[in-house]
Amino acid sequence: MSYIERTRKKADALIAQKSATILAIESSCDETAVAVVQDGRRVLANEIASQIDIHALYGGVVPEIASRMHVEALSPLYENALLHAGIEQKDISAVAVTFGPGLVGALLTGVSFAKALAYALDVPLIAVNHIEGHVSANFIQSPTLEPPFVCLVASGGHSHIVNVTRYGKYELLGRTVDDAAGEAFDKVARVLNIPYPGGPLLDKLAEEGNAERYHFPKMHTEGKYDFSFSGLKTAVINQAHSIRQAGGEVNAADWAASFRKAVVDALMDRTMLAVKDSGAKKLALAGGVASNRLLRREALRRGGEMGLEVSMPAPALCTDNAAMIGAAGFYRLMNGEIANLDLNAQPSIRLIEQ
Ligand code: KG4
Ligand code: ZN
Higher pLDDT, 352 or 309: 309
How many angstroms is it from 120 CA to the middle of ligand 1? 35
Q: What is the pLDDT of residue 61?
A: 86
DSSP state of 209: S
Count the neighbouring beta carbons within 10 Å of the beta carbon of residue 121: 18
The full set of domain ranges for the chain reads: 3-138+318-334, 146-313
Nearest Cα neighbor of 87 from 35, 133, 32, 49 is 35
Which residue's C-alpha comes closest to atom 8 of ligand 1? 288
* Alpha helices (H) in the chain, listed in sequence order: 3-17, 52-56, 63-85, 104-121, 130-141, 181-191, 198-206, 230-245, 252-278, 293-305, 315-318, 323-334
Contact 136, 285 (CB under 8 A): no
**Ligand that lies nearest to the alpha carbon of residue 159, given by its number in the listed order:** 1
pLDDT digits (tens, 9 = 90+) for 149-202: 999 999 998 899 999 999 999 999 999 999 999 999 999 999 899 988 899 999
How many angstroms is it from 157 CA to the middle of ligand 2? 7
Higher pLDDT, 289 or 30: 289
pLDDT at 353 exceeding the cut of 60 = no
Q: What whole-number distance in Å separates Cα of residue 192 and Cα of residue 251?
A: 9
- 349: helix, coil or strand? coil
Pick the CATH number of 146-313 from 3.40.50.80, 1.10.3720.10, 3.20.20.140, 3.30.420.40: 3.30.420.40
**CA 124 vs CA 53, 58, 120, 140, 343: distances in Å:** 35, 39, 11, 22, 12
Q: What is the pLDDT of residue 202?
A: 97
Least confident of 19-28, 125-134, 240-249, 299-308: 240-249
Q: What whole-number distance in Å separates Cα of residue 354 and Cα of residue 75?
A: 29
Say if ligand 1 is within 6 A of residue 186 CB.
yes
Say if ligand 1 is within 6 A of residue 292 CB.
yes
Question: What number does the ligand 1 atom closest to the CA of 263 have?
Answer: 23
Name the pLDDT band for 354 (thresholds 50, 70, 90).
very low
How many angstroms is it from 13 CA to the middle of ligand 2? 31
pLDDT at 210 exceeding the cut of 80 = yes
Mean pLDDT score across all residues of the chain: 95
Question: What number does the ligand 1 atom closest to the CA of 295 have?
Answer: 24
Question: What number does the ligand 1 atom closest to the CA of 181 have?
Answer: 12
Q: CATH topology for 3-138+318-334?
A: Nucleotidyltransferase; domain 5 (3.30.420)
**Ligand that lies nearest to the alpha carbon of residue 289, given by its number in the listed order:** 1
Question: What number does the ligand 1 atom closest to the CA of 198 have?
Answer: 14
pLDDT (average), residues 73-79: 97
Which residue's C-alpha comes closest to atom 21 of ligand 1? 288
Name the pLDDT band for 52 (thresholds 50, 70, 90).
confident
pLDDT at 145 exceeding the cut of 60 = yes
Two domains, one topology: 3-138+318-334 and 146-313: yes
DSSP state of 289: G
Backbone angles phi, psi at 96, to 5 degrees: -110, 140
pLDDT (average), residues 249-261: 96
**Ligand that lies nearest to the alpha carbon of residue 50, given by its number in the listed order:** 1
Nearest Cα neighbor of 259 from 222, 294, 287, 290 is 294
Q: What whole-number distance in Å separates Cα of residue 270 and Cα of residue 257?
A: 20
Say if ligand 1 is within 6 A of residue 288 CB.
yes
Contact 168, 341 (CB under 8 A): no
pLDDT (average), residues 318-326: 97
